[in-house]
Amino acid sequence: MKILNKTLLITTLVLFVIGAHAQKHKHGKNTHEHKGTNTNPYIHKGSPTVDILYDGYVKPIEGKTFLPGAQPDGARKAASTIALVRTKDMIMVTDPGMTAKGDWDNVIHTMKNLGVKKEDVTHIFISHHHPDHNTRLGVFPNATIVDFWATYKNDDWKDHPDKFEISKGVKVIKTPGHTHEDASLLVNTKEGLYLLTHMWWNDQFGPKVDPLAQDQAALDKNRAEWIHEVDWIVPGHGKMFKNPKKIQKTKAEREVLKASNTWIKRFNQGDVDYCVSAYTKNASMTAKPFGTFIGRAKIDKFWRPFVKKGASFLVYRNTIVKQINPTTVHLSSDWSMNVGEGIITKEEWVKEKDGIWRLNDDHFEVLKQYKQ
């Protein structure tokens, strides 16, 4: 009996150790943990992570027309690249679409090996509405669906703006071109900035001319905006790859981009006090066609009623930063918000004696005002 009890004890300990090992998973310096039994929710610790669940592809079939709709009997092999994105408060599957026969079971198995059950998934991101990217939406019963302009859960349809931060470090950005409804996902991780996108189909930045593009000019513009900004690219139908075209920014340029993003965030929160304090004491702001405003007091009189009337959802696109010297950086950009759009010809940011970057010279123009 003592031998039997000892055997049972050893077996129990072995099973416990095996179970504990299966419940914790490493991704770089981050730990993902499943506490207790399989009925308990998944817990993510650390910064956002990206794991590829399935490498997509598009392959022609001999004797069949490659382009959809070109011929009634056209055919091709197509599967979407599927990824798992995790943050402290979000578990997202991206583009859960077509796979080869039997491969979907492997996708779910890979998720389980990473500690995630179908029920754990909180969000699904779809880059666009082509069926090869969303045939498996119904697999995840608790997920909120996210696309280029809204989130969807049960009967709740909630609109969201461009550069919508769905979780800290994860943004949905509009990148039309392949379709008018295309969006991409930016994920800021310890390994760098990831771009999950259909702007490119494969790891060769191809095809250069998208044969299905609804707007090739818009696609080219969006590609140009992001191709030098991200460290990793996850294409719509190919393997993830490290971006060889990334341009490294100086420390000053990175600091100014961070200061600018904070200004935009505070503006969208209606925090006029912060926005005005982000100018130097004697700053100059020229806002065409409204005039020039010198000093914080006059800049405040411009921004405060503007924000009070409901101006928000400010977004910068095609932003360029250039270091002039270690304490001066110039920024230019396109901008849009809910009341209009225009261009920033120059924001001059200077690093003051307290070590804080502030706007010293601000030149922007309103090109279009929207009717309210």
How does residue 71 score in pLDDT terms, banded at 50, 70 and 90?
confident
The answer to whether the Cα torsion of 20, 23, 24, 27 is positive or negative is positive
- pLDDT computed for residue 69 by the predictor: 83
How does residue 19 score in pLDDT terms, banded at 50, 70 and 90?
very low
Arithmetic mean of pLDDT, 308-316: 96
- pLDDT computed for residue 31 by the predictor: 47
pLDDT at 236 over 60: yes
pLDDT at 10 over 70: no
- pLDDT, tens digit (0-9, with 9 covering 90-100), for 174-227: 999 999 999 999 999 999 999 999 999 999 999 999 999 999 999 999 999 999
233, 197 Cβ separation under 8 angstroms = yes
Q: Name the DSSP class of 67.
A: S
How does residue 70 score in pLDDT terms, banded at 50, 70 and 90?
confident
Arithmetic mean of pLDDT, 17-42: 47
Residues 6+ apart with CB under 8 A from 93: 53, 82, 83, 84, 85, 111, 121, 123, 124, 125, 140, 143
Three-state DSSP state, 62: coil
- pLDDT computed for residue 25 by the predictor: 45
How does residue 28 score in pLDDT terms, banded at 50, 70 and 90?
very low
How does residue 43 score in pLDDT terms, banded at 50, 70 and 90?
confident
Kindly state the percentage of the chain with pLDDT values over 90.
85
Kindly report the CA angle at 345 between 341 and 346, in degrees rounded to 5?
125
Arithmetic mean of pLDDT, 231-253: 98
350, 357 Cβ separation under 8 angstroms = yes
- pLDDT computed for residue 303 by the predictor: 97
Arithmetic mean of pLDDT, 107-125: 96
pLDDT at 17 over 90: no
Concatenated DSSP letters for 145-180?
EE-SSEEEETTEEEE--TTEEEETTEEEEE--SSST
149, 159 Cβ separation under 8 angstroms = yes
- pLDDT, tens digit (0-9, with 9 covering 90-100), for 138-184: 999 999 999 999 999 999 999 999 999 999 999 999 999 999 999 99
The separation between the first and the last C-alpha atoms of the chain, rounded to the nearest angstrom, is: 84
How many residues make up the chain in this entry?
372
How does residue 44 score in pLDDT terms, banded at 50, 70 and 90?
confident
95 CB neighbour count, 10 Å cutoff:
29
**Average pLDDT value for the chain:** 91
The answer to whether the Cα torsion of 256, 257, 259, 264 is positive or negative is positive
How does residue 234 score in pLDDT terms, banded at 50, 70 and 90?
very high
pLDDT at 68 over 60: yes
- pLDDT computed for residue 39 by the predictor: 53
